[in-house]
Structure 1
């Protein structure tokens, strides 16, 4: 085999590998794997952070009660009560973010209230004692949990969007008249031409007017809404 033939063979093999690596389904699968890793690491950090606060909250709730007395034992229930409500909200948001369903304002209020309650109970004794080092020590875990629960919701939403965009690419490149492949811009142009003032731009409307995929329609709807808003 000549050098030119060997290079041609290598090029063909490389093209085949790249075709599989850039296939929308393969890309979407990789993003899903990243999502699982992000969820696992985020949940681990959140649970560990809440576990750290448990002892401090128990100390706050038990105050000067005798060790192993009923009030002392009952104080251990306070932190899990708040934490379980928070974890229930986060678990629900894990599902809603997966399908890009927006939750109501009370969900965020409940999340913030449980986080604020955990922070106050975790740091109250240190604030009353005026111990700066203890305040910092007991502030870091609940604040990390607070930031994490806010960030992980946005991350899940964006990862879902990335999966939908990747999956939608398969429909983006379908043939149109003249043998040319149909691009995102073609779908957008169709949606733009179909839109009229007063028409709500939703993914369902975009699919109805352009015949695009369910995965691509949210992206098209966002783009067209931005165009309309900017005039």
Structure 2
């Protein structure tokens, strides 16, 4: 079956991966922006490269690593419909709040509205993205399921099969153009047993399979409906033929 796609023709799974990566990139960039302000808050005017100044760089990564681990775990649990406990929510919001307070403390103490806005935007983006990335992943998963269902239904739609050939009646005492001398009796009549056997003959599975192989091209997505269209076989046989062709083509 072909990969499920959006109305614009783009793969749903590819869009989901892109959205996931972009959201996480925004979260990481936001946390990286806050690192300098948190370091200045923790250093509290200490001399550059002194021990307090160096250890102050550890505060923001310590909080950010815990926050990222919680966000990543929530993303996976939400995908499978598993609810996390209350302590997980407390830990997430505590780390987010701590990041915001340490990042904007100096701006609030100096009373500069522009600095408050400047240092509030990155933590708030992280706040919003932390909630949105989990919900987006859940909704995109539902979209992938819906797209797969729609693709399956389209592939299962029946197409008119080719009309079976009606055997041409052969008048008594004559032979058809396709009969060989082996099938005819010396008197010019067709042997009853041989003529009935020829009319009763059906196309075999191998012959249908050969027809489908010949019609198949690299861009074709093999489905039972496509097999019926190119071979004119029955609905039940088309499923077996499609499964055989998919196995031969490595899943396509």
TM-score normalised by the chain length of structure 1: 0.60
Alignment map for 1:61-100 (pairs within 5 Å): 61-100=42-81
What value does the CA root-mean-square deviation take over the aligned residues?
A: 2.4
- What is the deviation of 1:71? 0.8
Give the secondary-structure state (helix, strand or coil) at the position aligned to 1:65.
Answer: coil
1:114-133 aligned within 5 A: 114-133=95-114
Tell me, yes or no, if the aligned pair for 2:4 and 2:148 is still in contact at 8 Å.
Answer: no
Partners of 2:5 and 2:79 lie apart in 1 by 17
Question: In the aligned structure 2, how far is the partner of 1:92 from the partner of 1:58?
Answer: 27
Q: Which runs of 5 or more residues in structure 2 are unaligned?
A: 158-252
Is it true that 1:51 corresponds to 2:32 in the alignment?
Answer: yes
Structure 1 residue 174 displacement after superposition:
7.7
Query: Structure 1: which 5+ runs fail to align?
Result: 1-19, 176-231
Structure 1 position 166 matched with structure 2 position 144: no
Q: Which has the larger radius of gyration?
A: 2
Going from structure 1 to structure 2, the CA distance change for 1:134 and 1:119 (only over 3 Å counts) comes to: same
The answer (yes or no) to whether the contact 1:99–1:160 under 8 Å persists in 2 is: no
Aligned to 2:21: 40
Helix, strand or coil at the partner of 2:11: helix
Determine the C-alpha separation between the residues in 2 that align with 1:59 and 1:108.
Answer: 28
1:81–1:49: structure 2 CA closer, same or farther, 3 Å change rule? Answer: same
Residue-by-residue CA offset, 1:38-87 (whole Å, 9 max, x unaligned)? 11101111111100000000000000222111111000000000000011
Query: Alpha carbons of 1:26 and 1:165: their partners in 2 closer, same or farther (altered >3 Å)?
Result: closer
Contact 2:39 2:60 in 1 (8 A): yes
Shift of 1:96: 2.0
Rounded to whole Å, the distance in 2 between the matches of 1:173 and 1:131 is 62
Bigger shift: residues 65-74 or 94-103: 94-103
Which structure shows the higher helix fraction? 1
Greater shift, 51-60 or 147-156, is seen at 147-156
Distance in 2 (alpha carbons) for counterparts of 1:87 and 1:36 = 18
How many residues align? The count is 153
Structure 1 runs of 4+ aligned residues shifted over 6 Å read 171-175
Q: Normalization by structure 2: what TM-score?
A: 0.55
